[in-house]
A and B are shown apart, each in its own frame.
Chain A
Amino acid sequence: MKADPRGVLTGVYYIDGDVAAGYGALAAGCKFVAGYPITPSTEAFEAICHRGPQVGAVFIQMEDELGSISAIIGATWSGVKTMTITSGPGYSLMQECIGFGAMLETPFVLLNIQRGGPSTGVPTKTGQADMMQSRWGSHGDYELIAIAPESPQEMFDYTIKAFNLAEKYRCPIMIMSDECVGHMTEKVVIPEADKIEVEPRRLYTGPAEDYLPFKPEPDLVPKMAKAGDGLKLYITGQTHDERGYPVKDAEYKSKYGRRLVDKIRLNKDKIIELKEEGTDNADVIVVSYGISSRVAIKGVELAREKGIKVGTLRLVTVWPFPDEKMSELAKKAKAFVVPEINYGQVVYDVARCAHGRANVVLVPHGGAGVHNPNDIADAIEMAAKEDKKIEGLIEFKTRLEKSVFEGGFKLKE
C-alpha cells in the first residue's frame, strides 16, 4: 500500500535525526503519539507536536513514560498506528509495558535515543549501552525487533520500516538510535507519498463470533482487531489461549508462549537487514551498528591504507541477531572487531557465533562521546597480526582509556 499523502511532508530538509524520525512516523501513517520530554529525544516529540495536528495525528504529553507507553498500546487497540519516544531512564520505565505489548502482540514503535547511563548518566551525550536492555529488558520470554539507524536520512527511512515491521509481525519495534544520530543535522530527502510503501494493519474482517485474536496465520502472526467493532475482545496480559482467555498449565504456557518467540525467530530471514562490504576475502571484519558504524568507516579506511584486508558488516537490524551469517563469516575471517559505545554488549553475540573459529576484539567506549577512528584502525591492525586463536573476548585498550586510567583498573593484591 502507498503512504497517505497527508502525512508525507515531501521535500528536501536540513534537519536533525530526531525530527527526521518524527517526520518518518507521520509519513508511515502514525496517528497517535504519546511522549514525555527527555533529553536527547525531545526534538522528535516536538516535531510531532508541531506537524501532527496539521496532518491528522493526535499527540499527548503524558505524566510519565509509564503513561506514554500504556497510552500508545491502548491507542493501537483502538485501531491506529502509534509511536512513543524516549531515552535513558524513560526507556527503563517503559520496560513493564514493552513486555505487555509483546504479550498482547501489539504493533507499535518505540524510538529510543540512547544516552550515557546508567541512571541519569550523561543526558546530553551519546551511548549505546541499552542494546541488551532492548533485547531482554522486560521480564519473561519474548522476541522483538531492534533497528539502529546511522544518519538522519536513515532515521526517516527506518522509522517507516519500523512501522511496517510492526504491522507485519504484530510486535513492538525498537528504533535504537543514539544522541549522536538524534542530534546530527544533515540533508534529509522526503520523497512523494507514492514512493513510500506502508504496511496496512492486518485487520480481521470475518464474522464477529468467529474471531480469535491470537489464532496464528501461516506466518505465525495473528490478525489484529480493534475495540468498538463488536468483537467482544477479551485481551489480557496473562498467558492466554487463542481466544485471549487466561491459561495456567505448563502445557498451554509452552503452546501459546512459544509462538511469541518463534514468530520472530522463524521469520528471521525476512526481518534481518545487513549492510556488508568487502567481507568475501577479508582477514578482519568490523561488525558495528548505529553511530559506531559511521565512525568505523574512517578506521577501516586507515587500516586499508596499511594494506590490511578489512570487510565491514553493519547490523541495520541488531535484533534478531544474524547468527547464521555471523557463523559463516567466522569460518572465513581471522577476526571480528566490534566497536560499540559500551563495555561489551552485542560483542558477546558476535563471540557466541564466532565460537572460537575467529578472534573477537571489543573496542569499548564508556559513552559521552564516540570512538577515535585511530583506535578502530589499531584494533584492526592488532587483530590482523594475531595468528593465534585466543579464547574469549579480547579487549582493545583505547587511547581514551589509557589516558584516563592507564588501560584499566586492577585489583590490588
Chain B
Amino acid sequence: MNSIIDALDKGIEMAGIARKRISVPSDIPFDPDAVKTLGVDYFQIPRGRAIAFGTGLKLGNPDLKVIPVAGDLMTLGGNHFVHGSRRNMELLVICVNNFVYKNIGGKPAPFTQAVFSPYSTFEEPFNFPHLGNSCGAVYTARWTALHAEELAASIAEALNKRGLSMIEVLAPGPNYYRSIDGIESELLQFYFNNSVVKNNEDPRNVAITPDEKIAVGKFTDKERPTFIDSYNVQHSKMLGDKFTPHGSPPKVEKLGGKNG
C-alpha cells in the first residue's frame, strides 16, 4: 500500500492538480499520516462502495477530482465498477489487486503455497483492464507496485482524462503477512521480474495466466462523453434556458439517436 500512496503523491504532483480538489474514497484503510502527507480529503467507505460513493462526490461537486481506491478485487464493488464505466463517470479508479497467483510466467510464486493458502485457490480473478474496457472505461492500465515511475506517470495521465480511468495495481502481500520478514518485498520483486511492458495491447489479451509473464502498461486511452457531458447536452437540448449545465462546460455537441 505504501508504494501506491507514494505513487499517488507523485502522480498528483505531476498532474498539476491542486491537492484540495482531490478526494479519495477508499475501502482500504489509509494511515492518517499518509493522508496528511497526500493533503487530500480521504473517506473510508464500507467495502466495495468506493465507486458509488465517488459518483456522489463527483456529481455533488463536479469540480472535485475523485480517486476511488477499490481494494476488494471487485467482489462487492464489481457492479459499481461496470456501471461507473458504462456511464463514464469522471473517476480514477485505483484497483488494488492482491489476488494470490500460484504460478506466473510458468514459475510458482514464492510463499503462496506455504503461507497464503495451504491448498491454493481454484478461482480465477477478472482480467480487469478487459472488463473495464468492455464497459466503456476511457483509460485502462496495469502496473505492479514496484513500477513506481510508470505508475505515477499513469496516475498523472489518467487524472487529466475525462471519464472513468482504471489503473490496476498488482500488490500482493496483505498486511497480515508483513510480520513474516521479506514476503511482501520478495513477492513484489517476483511479480516485477515476471512482468513485461506491453503498451497499447488489446485488453482482451492481457489476462494473467499461469504460463505467461504479466502484461503491464497502458491498454486503453480513448475519448467518450462523460456522464456529466451527456447529462448537460441532453437536458440543454430539451429544456433550453430552463436548464443550467452542471459543472464545467461540455465538450460534445450531440448525442446519437433520433432524440439526440
**Are B56 and A231 in contact, with the CB atoms below 8 A?**
no
* B235 contacts chain A at the CB level, 8 A cutoff: yes
* B99 contacts chain A at the CB level, 8 A cutoff: no
What residues of B have a CB within 8 angstroms of the CB of A354 in the complex? none
In the bound complex, CA of A79 to CA of B60 (Å): 7
Nearest Cβ in chain B — how far from A313, in angstroms?
A: 38
* B36 contacts chain A at the CB level, 8 A cutoff: yes
What residues of A have a CB within 8 angstroms of the CB of B79 in the complex? 63-64, 67
* A400 contacts chain B at the CB level, 8 A cutoff: no
Q: Which of A52-60, A256-264, A336-344 contacts B (4 or more CB under 8 A)?
A: A52-60
In the bound complex, CA of A63 to CA of B49 (Å): 12
What residues of A have a CB within 8 angstroms of the CB of B49 in the complex? 66-67, 70, 97
* B42 contacts chain A at the CB level, 8 A cutoff: yes
* A13 contacts chain B at the CB level, 8 A cutoff: no
**Are B52 and A71 in contact, with the CB atoms below 8 A?**
yes
**Are A32 and B59 in contact, with the CB atoms below 8 A?**
yes
What residues of A have a CB within 8 angstroms of the CB of B19 in the complex? 230
Contact partner of A67 (CB less than 8 A), chosen from B21, B61, B83, is B83
* B29 contacts chain A at the CB level, 8 A cutoff: yes
Nearest Cβ in chain B — how far from A85, in angstroms?
A: 15
In the bound complex, CA of A385 to CA of B196 (Å): 87
Identify the closest chain A residue to B232 (Cβ): A53
In the bound complex, CA of A212 to CA of B235 (Å): 40
What residues of B have a CB within 8 angstroms of the CB of A231 in the complex? 41
In the bound complex, CA of A230 to CA of B39 (Å): 8
Nearest Cβ in chain A — how far from B206, in angstroms?
A: 26
Nearest Cβ in chain B — how far from A156, in angstroms?
A: 22
* B225 contacts chain A at the CB level, 8 A cutoff: no
For residues 207 through 240 of chain B, which have their beta carbon under 8 Å from a beta carbon of chain A?
227, 231, 235, 239
What residues of B have a CB within 8 angstroms of the CB of A246 in the complex? 29, 32
**Are A232 and B36 in contact, with the CB atoms below 8 A?**
yes
**Are B57 and A67 in contact, with the CB atoms below 8 A?**
no
**Are B44 and A227 in contact, with the CB atoms below 8 A?**
no
In the bound complex, CA of A67 to CA of B86 (Å): 14
What residues of B have a CB within 8 angstroms of the CB of A60 in the complex? 55, 59, 227
**Are A77 and B40 in contact, with the CB atoms below 8 A?**
no
**Are B32 and A245 in contact, with the CB atoms below 8 A?**
yes
**Are A74 and B44 in contact, with the CB atoms below 8 A?**
no
Q: How large is the interface on A (under 10, 10 to 19, 20 to 34, 35 or more residues)?
A: 35 or more
* B115 contacts chain A at the CB level, 8 A cutoff: no
For residues 208 through 260 of chain A, which have their beta carbon under 8 Å from a beta carbon of chain B?
226-238, 243, 245-246
Identify the closest chain B residue to A70 (Cβ): B52
Instruction: For the complex, count residues of B whose C-beta is within 8 A of A.
Output: 41
Contact with A along B8-33 (1 / 0, CB 8 A): 00000000000111010100010010
**Are A71 and B59 in contact, with the CB atoms below 8 A?**
yes
**Are A73 and B64 in contact, with the CB atoms below 8 A?**
no
**Are A71 and B61 in contact, with the CB atoms below 8 A?**
no
In the bound complex, CA of A66 to CA of B43 (Å): 17
Contact partner of B83 (CB less than 8 A), chosen from A58, A63, A230, A243, is A63
What residues of A have a CB within 8 angstroms of the CB of B83 in the complex? 62-63, 67
Identify the closest chain A residue to B55 (Cβ): A71
In the bound complex, CA of A56 to CA of B45 (Å): 28
Nearest Cβ in chain B — how far from A65, in angstroms?
A: 10
Contact with B along A327-356 (1 / 0, CB 8 A): 000000000000000000000000000000
**Are B41 and A67 in contact, with the CB atoms below 8 A?**
no
**Are B46 and A227 in contact, with the CB atoms below 8 A?**
no
**Are B59 and A58 in contact, with the CB atoms below 8 A?**
yes
Nearest Cβ in chain A — how far from B26, in angstroms?
A: 10
In the bound complex, CA of A73 to CA of B242 (Å): 28
**Are A70 and B53 in contact, with the CB atoms below 8 A?**
yes
**Are B46 and A100 in contact, with the CB atoms below 8 A?**
yes
In the bound complex, CA of A77 to CA of B49 (Å): 15
What residues of B have a CB within 8 angstroms of the CB of A232 in the complex? 35-36, 39-42
Nearest Cβ in chain B — how far from A198, in angstroms?
A: 18
**Are A227 and B57 in contact, with the CB atoms below 8 A?**
yes
For residues 33 through 80 of chain B, which have their beta carbon under 8 Å from a beta carbon of chain A?
35-36, 39-46, 49, 52-61, 63-64, 79-80
Identify the closest chain B residue to A243 (Cβ): B32
For residues 138 through 174 of chain B, which have their beta carbon under 8 Å from a beta carbon of chain A?
none
**Are B246 and A97 in contact, with the CB atoms below 8 A?**
no
In the bound complex, CA of A234 to CA of B34 (Å): 10
* A134 contacts chain B at the CB level, 8 A cutoff: no
In the bound complex, CA of A183 to CA of B72 (Å): 41
**Are B56 and A32 in contact, with the CB atoms below 8 A?**
yes
**Are A71 and B56 in contact, with the CB atoms below 8 A?**
yes
Contact partner of B80 (CB less than 8 A), chosen from A63, A78, A237, is A63
Nearest Cβ in chain A — how far from B150, in angstroms?
A: 28
7 tightest Cβ-Cβ pairs between the two chains A and B: A74-B56, A78-B60, A75-B60, A230-B20, A71-B56, A70-B52, A236-B44
Other A-B pairs beyond A31-B60, A74-B60, 13, CB < 8 Å = A53-B235, A54-B239, A60-B59, A63-B80, A72-B56, A74-B25, A82-B56, A227-B57, A236-B29, A237-B45, A237-B46, A243-B32, A246-B32
Which residues of B pack against A, CB within 8 Å? Answer: 19-21, 23, 25, 29, 32, 35-36, 39-46, 49, 52-61, 63-64, 79-80, 83, 227, 231, 235, 239, 242-244, 246
Q: Would you list 13 pairs from A and B whose C-beta atoms are within 8 A, ordered by A residue?
A: A67-B49, A67-B52, A70-B55, A78-B23, A78-B59, A80-B61, A228-B20, A229-B20, A232-B36, A234-B32, A235-B42, A235-B43, A246-B29
